[in-house]
Chain A
Amino acid sequence: MRDDIPGLLPKNLRLLVQGITGKEGSFHTKMMLDYGTNIVAGVTPGKGGSYIHGVPVYDTIAEAVEESEANSSIIFVPARFAYDAAMEAIYNRLSPIVIITEGIPAHDTVKLVNAAAKYNVRVIGPNTPGLIFPNKYKIGILPDRYFDEGAVAVVSRSGTLTYEISMSMVNRGFGQRIVIGCGGDYIIGTNFIDILEILRRDLETKAIVVIGEIGGDDEERLADYIMHTNYPKPVVAYVAGRSAPPGKRMGHAGAIISGGMGSAESKINKFKEAGVRIAYRPSEVVEKLMEVI
């Protein structure tokens, strides 16, 4: 079994943690280390020279890369500093950059996402739980005991709902090739289509679970992509927010039906047209998976 997914997960992951000395950053550094993630450095401006769980901390990414050869990053810094943190990671060509931070203004995200594209850097998030490559490593905050390795990729816009559905899969014998949160924000770096395009060529991925929600048109465009490219793997989708009122932000910055766009109904209908199997309850995802595997 290949232990990398080209374009998404490097074989020789050397992860850097931005905001490693903060409460979240430090806690999840420990969690990731325990799970087997190769964390080689941390960055917190002003805290250079210290160690967190044995990981050396630097003031700048340039210093960290010079000494540790870090090649990817996870960002835990607060929203108002996250833009600069991401730009620094992009400047140093770290990829992927997984942005856990919630609450970054969309104007900032747009700039950093465009800069990343220009320098061929992959950004995952913001406002994502990150990703887990079960029994290998994780770049994120997903509680690892609800995942197990297997052949189903789970791609999602949410956090706890992803754990919920993954747990129900594992309980019924379906492990995961990868579980990845694209993020709940208005603007995100990597969307459903990007992930499915990468997984298209991944021989270990036999089926895909998409966990969508109201807002935007990522699900609609994914449905078009599945239909028009004759996507070679079965896809099961759950879309949250069927009873959400228009114009109200349902927790996530991106989860809002605006201008008649982004309703769950529109997404479900498009998915159906594309031959995607729809689960109407989280627990139904497993039932739909059993029909295709």
Chain B
Amino acid sequence: MYLIEYEGKQLFVKYGIKIPDSMIISRDEYVDPPKPSLNYPLVVKGQYPYGGRGKSGAVKIANNYEEYIEAINSIAHISVGGVKPRYILIEEFVPHEKEYYLSIIMSRKDKKPVILVSKYGGIDVEELAGKPGSLMSLEIDPLIGYSDYHAKMVSKFLLNRLDKELMDMVRRLYRLFIENDVLLVEINPLSINESPIALDSKVMLDDNAYYRHDYTQYIEYSMLASKGEQIARKHGFSFVPLDGDIGVIGNGAGLVMATVDLVNYYGGSPACFLDVGGGASSERIQRAIEVIANELNIRSLLINIFAGITRCDEVARGIVQAKKLLEEMGIKVVVRLVGTNEDLGASILRDAGFKVYKEMDVAAMEAIKNEG
């Protein structure tokens, strides 16, 4: 899960990493924003769960109160990735000549934490990778851990000297990385005029590590999923809403992704990805159908089950239990069942008037068809 900028910065503050003096304004204050007790010029930044806000104009400079109000009014209406900002962050502008880049990532390729630094901040790390000599990467052996030579190398590379404050920042960033099960923490741009200051933050936390942290202490907005996502999370489904009109339920992440792709391949438009996981009971299947039917606006539902430990008769009973709801909402249901107890499952469904298929291609095409 990615944190939005200001929540990432709260984490920075907790670890003693400097950020500009700032205040946060929430959605209901946009109409009548509080007068800032900060020094102009200010940077006014919309807070989005997605990247790309710079290009959308959701970051503005305000030199006085009028410009401040104007910036808020304008940013309040700018959508990035389909959402308007729930918060706007106001920061004092930090004068700086140069922007640097500093991050620690859990590298999937190297299977180690890696510190990445560059003298050219403010641009994407992918672009940096294309500039020879601009990027330094320092591996950290997870069995040994961080040692101060890492910070010395960072400081030498960026400033060609040993800067106490910068070294301290690297040390603190690594602690933040380790203690919070972070997959990526990025300061870009990093300003180092008098002392190092994080002008932006990007933090990705590990969903698998929620059980051993109380992220909620300082993280609200990033955790706030849509109602459908919350319900799915409550029941332990993997659920990702998409923008089409054909709901997709299946078992196993790869199979559900492939089913969503198949709907697209045959010219349909998938409304979601929902993985019920292995060994799903009839109640679980019923609940999954209810979540989709209630939360999304769909015209048909494609259920694709390849049963190993899952039992097709359980799946079938779950679908039958949801029949009334599906009929009321006028949702066409297409079921593809293969695997453990498939004949029993298919006969339960056929008796209840459902269409059952064996081939996923055929089922996908059937789900796309307009006529019932």
Binding site for B on A (CB under 8 A): 27, 79-80, 103-107, 110-111, 113-115, 118, 141-143, 156-164, 167, 184-187, 211, 213-214, 216-218, 221, 238, 240-245, 247-255, 258-261, 264, 280-283
Tally of contacts, chain A with chain B, CB under 8 A: 180
Report, nearest first, the 8 A-B pairs whose CB atoms are least far apart: A158-B254, A251-B253, A160-B252, A161-B254, A143-B308, A105-B209, A240-B257, A251-B238
Are A243 and B255 closer than 8 Å at their CB atoms? no
Q: How far is the CB of A293 from chain B (nearest CB, A)?
A: 22
| Inter-chain contacts of B253 with A (CB < 8 A) | 158-159, 184, 213, 250-252, 255
Which of B107-115, B293-301, B315-323 lies at the binding interface? Answer: B107-115
Q: Which of B7-62 contact A (CB under 8 A)?
A: 49-51
Known: A164-B306, A251-B238. A105 touches B212 (CB 8 A): yes
Residue count of chain B within 8 Å CB distance of chain A = 61
Are B261 and A186 closer than 8 Å at their CB atoms? no
Are B126 and A260 closer than 8 Å at their CB atoms? yes
Q: Which of A118, A218, A240, A264 contacts B254 (CB 8 A)?
A: A240
A–B pairs, 26, beta carbons within 8 Å: A106-B183, A107-B106, A110-B113, A114-B142, A118-B143, A159-B255, A159-B278, A161-B257, A163-B308, A186-B106, A211-B254, A213-B253, A213-B254, A216-B109, A218-B108, A240-B261, A243-B263, A243-B264, A244-B240, A244-B257, A249-B238, A250-B273, A280-B265, A281-B258, A281-B262, A283-B361
Are A106 and B106 closer than 8 Å at their CB atoms? yes
| Inter-chain contacts of A218 with B (CB < 8 A) | 108
| Inter-chain contacts of B306 with A (CB < 8 A) | 160-161, 163-164, 167
Q: How far is the CB of B310 from chain A (nearest CB, A)?
A: 9
| Inter-chain contacts of A264 with B (CB < 8 A) | 261
Are A161 and B255 closer than 8 Å at their CB atoms? yes
**Complexed CA–CA distance, A107 and B81 (Å):** 30
**Complexed CA–CA distance, A113 and B142 (Å):** 10
Are B264 and A281 closer than 8 Å at their CB atoms? no
Q: Which of B207, B251, B338 contacts A249 (CB 8 A)?
A: B207
**Complexed CA–CA distance, A213 and B255 (Å):** 10
Render B190-231 as a binary contact track against A, CB cut-off 8 A, 1 for contact: 000000000000001011110110000000000000000000
